[in-house]
């Protein structure tokens, strides 16, 4: 069975974005890009909510073609164009996109079926609403949490309405030079 992995930046006080969706507090540098790139290469399917997918799709398909693209832009753009994409969205129901499946209903059954298919991991990028929904359904197997050294006070929490105690096992922790700590947990 394929693992479903949530990949998320979070403030030290537990928020994934500010009250208006702000993410300008997230620290990124070459070390984080390299670390995340190694992690991303373990996945062949990217799962997004509509808002995050729109943001990703507006940038990544052509990121490598821009003048003087970074190593990260080239690598992630190539990965993005090759992977299968799954978008959870009621408003996109019936829309057809290349290498993309849109799930608008029966989410629990469809994600369980996706996890049963052959392939590598399925990775959720950002998409806090998707992470909330799939955590509530008990479908996320691993969490990669990039804890940023900042308190933002309010916003969208990483975890919301968790239905029951979910025990996690810390698999790895890594302190990055910029002060971000990556925590990798698996459901135990």
Q: Is residue 9 part of a domain?
A: yes
Is 119 a member of any domain? yes
If one counts the domains in the chain, the total is 1
* pLDDT tens profile 31-70: 998 888 888 888 999 999 999 999 999 999 999 999 999 9
What CA–CA distance (Å, rounded) separates 76 from 33?
Answer: 9
Domain membership flag for residue 74: no
At residue 84, the pLDDT reads: 95
With respect to residue 133, please indicate whether it lies within any of the assigned structural domains.
Answer: yes
Please, are residues 133 and 160 in contact by the beta-carbon 8 Å criterion?
Answer: no
Q: Report if residue 60 sits inside a domain.
A: no
| 153-171: pLDDT as tens digits | 999 999 988 877 889 999 9
- What does the pLDDT read at residue 38? 85
Q: Residue 185 corresponds to which tokens in the numbers above?
A: 């947990």
130: CATH: 3.40.430.10
Residue 147 belongs to domain spanning: 4-53+84-187
Instruction: Write down the pLDDT at residue 171.
Output: 97
165 in a domain, yes or no? yes
Structure tokens at 10: 């979070």
CA distance 21 to 59: 18
- Give the residues across from 48 on adjacent strands: 87
Per the CB < 8 A criterion, the answer to whether 5 and 142 are in contact is yes
Number of H-type helices and E-type strands within the chain: 5, 10
C-alpha span between 17 and 21 (Å, rounded): 5
| 92-150 residue pLDDT tens | 998 999 999 999 999 999 999 999 999 999 999 888 999 999 999 999 999 999 999 99
pLDDT, tens only, 63-95: 999 999 998 899 999 999 999 999 999 999 989
Mean pLDDT for all residues in the chain: 93
Residue 149 falls inside a structural domain: yes
Q: Is residue 22 part of a domain?
A: yes
Report pLDDT for 40. Answer: 86
- Residue 37: the pLDDT is 85
């Amino acid at each position: 069975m394929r693992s479903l992995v949530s990949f998320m930046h979070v403030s030290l006080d537990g928020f994934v974005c500010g009250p208006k969706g702000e993410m300008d507090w997230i620290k990124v540098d070459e070390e984080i890009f390299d670390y995340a790139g190694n992690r991303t290469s373990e996945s062949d399917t990217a799962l997004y909510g509509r808002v995050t997918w729109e943001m990703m799709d507006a940038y990544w398909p052509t990121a490598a073609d821009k003048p003087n693209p970074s190593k990260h832009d080239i690598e992630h753009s190539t990965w993005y164009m090759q992977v299968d994409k799954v978008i959870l969205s009621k408003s996109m129901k019936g829309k057809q996109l290349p290498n993309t499946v849109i799930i608008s209903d029966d989410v629990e059954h469809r994600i369980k079926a996706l996890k049963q298919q052959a392939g590598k991991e399925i990775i959720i990028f950002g998409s806090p609403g998707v992470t909330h929904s799939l955590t509530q359904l008990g479908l996320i197997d691993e969490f990669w949490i990039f804890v940023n050294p900042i308190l933002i006070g309010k916003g969208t929490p990483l975890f919301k309405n968790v239905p029951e105690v979910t025990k996690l096992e810390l698999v790895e922790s890594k302190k990055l030079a910029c002060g971000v700590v990556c925590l990798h947990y698996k459901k135990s």
